[in-house]
């Protein structure tokens, strides 16, 4: 929760509003809550995550909300390209991705939940969103538009087959799935891939997970080559962790 609060404050997601301003609001502020998740890392360790979410179901007059999502079929096809051409495949994660986009509605006011840091801990404090927050209905669209603009500026072209698949003339491929990014590239484009990561890191807080061992809950196993380079590397995909969780 402290990490989430720190990210929100550093990102300048919202300014606080004093009680006098709050009484003059023409719109009713929306509540918020904490959502807790348990994440399983590829090395079988557990990571605990807390997200601050707004009660977006109470929003009205929000306009366009649609945002495309990467297809699992595309990901499986990309894995076949890794196998055939000996491509490298890295996994990038954008920390608090939705918080990077500025909202296009000036009238989203929110009441902070309990558990906020000292000094902002009372649930009666009201804030006005300057940037998107989880469960803001238009947040996925705003985030997709934001990163789409960045990738196009880096000379990527959008695939006609999948609106979240990007390709560049140097052989780099990128598949987006909300805040997860799968990056594929040939060995000769390694330096170019490093530069792309650096440019993205200038705009977003990126966790470079480097060699992909898991993507969207799908485990990637390299059976004869730990680097994933060289044509003929054997791969297998599995979901052992998910299956075990369901059985338990």
Q: Residue 22: its pLDDT value, please?
A: 63
Rg, Å, the chain Cα set: 20
What's the confidence (pLDDT) of residue 221? 74
Mean pLDDT of the chain: 81
Yes or no: say if 93 and 12 are a contact pair by the CB < 8 Å rule: no
Interhelix angle 190-203/139-153, rounded to 10 degrees, is 140
Q: pLDDT band at 20, cuts 50/70/90?
A: low
Q: Indicate the burial class of 138 (C-beta count within 10 angstroms; 0-12, 13-18, 19 or more).
A: buried
Q: Mean pLDDT throughout 66-93?
A: 86
pLDDT of residue 121: 47
Q: What is the model's pLDDT at position 230?
A: 45
Compare 239 and 24 and report the one with higher pLDDT: 239
Cβ-based neighbours of 206, under 8 Å, separated by 6 or more: 92, 93, 94, 95, 197, 200
Read off the pLDDT of each residue in 134-155 and give the average, rounded to a whole number: 90
pLDDT at 19: 58
Distance CA 3, CA 10 (A): 11
* 182 CB-side CA count, 13 A: 25
Residue 224 has pLDDT above 70, yes or no: no
pLDDT at 3 over 50: yes
Q: Could you report the per-residue pLDDT of 122-142, keeping only the tens digit for each?
A: 545 788 888 888 888 888 888
Spatial CA neighbour of 5 closest among 53, 52, 55: 52
- Give residue 214's domain range: 2-247
State pTM to two decimals: 0.72
Residue 229, pLDDT above cutoff 50: no
pLDDT over 80 at 187, yes or no: yes
Cα dihedral value 243, 245, 247, 248, nearest 10: 160
Q: How high is the pLDDT of residue 228?
A: 46
124: helix, strand or coil: coil
CA 11 to chain centroid, in Å, comes to 15
For the residues 213-229, what does the mean pLDDT come to?
65
What would the pLDDT profile of 100-124 be if each residue is shown by its tens digit?
Answer: 788 876 678 888 888 876 655 454 5
How crowded is the C-beta side of 233, counted as CA atoms within 13 Å? 21
Q: What is the mean pLDDT of residues 43-68?
A: 82
- 156 has pLDDT over 90: yes
Q: Given this model, what pLDDT does residue 2 score?
A: 85
pLDDT at 171: 92
Domains identified in the chain, total number: 1
């Amino acid at each position: 929760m402290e990490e989430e609060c720190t990210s929100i404050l550093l990102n300048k997601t919202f300014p606080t509003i004093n009680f006098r301003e709050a009484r003059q609001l023409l719109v009713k502020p929306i509540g918020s809550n904490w959502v807790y998740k348990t994440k399983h890392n590829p090395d079988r360790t557990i990571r605990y995550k807390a997200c601050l979410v707004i009660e977006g179901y109470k929003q009205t007059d929000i306009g366009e909300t649609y945002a495309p999502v990467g297809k699992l079929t595309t990901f499986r096809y990309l894995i076949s390209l890794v196998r055939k051409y000996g491509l490298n495949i890295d996994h990038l994660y954008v920390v608090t991705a939705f918080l990077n986009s500025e909202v296009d509605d000036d009238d989203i006011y929110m009441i902070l939940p309990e558990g906020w840091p000292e000094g902002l801990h009372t649930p009666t404090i009201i804030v006005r969103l300057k940037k998107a927050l989880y469960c803001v209905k238009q947040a996925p669209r705003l985030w997709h538009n934001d990163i789409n603009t960045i990738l196009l500026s880096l000379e990527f072209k959008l695939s006609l087959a999948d609106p979240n698949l990007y390709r560049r003339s140097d052989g780099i491929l990128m598949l987006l799935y909300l805040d997860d990014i799968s990056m594929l590239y040939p060995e000769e484009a390694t330096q170019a891939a490093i530069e792309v990561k650096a440019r993205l890191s200038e705009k977003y807080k990126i966790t470079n997970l480097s060699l992909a061992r898991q993507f969207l809950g799908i485990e990637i196993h390299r059976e004869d080559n730990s680097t994933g380079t060289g044509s003929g590397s054997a791969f297998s995909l599995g979901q052992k962790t998910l299956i075990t969780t369901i059985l338990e």
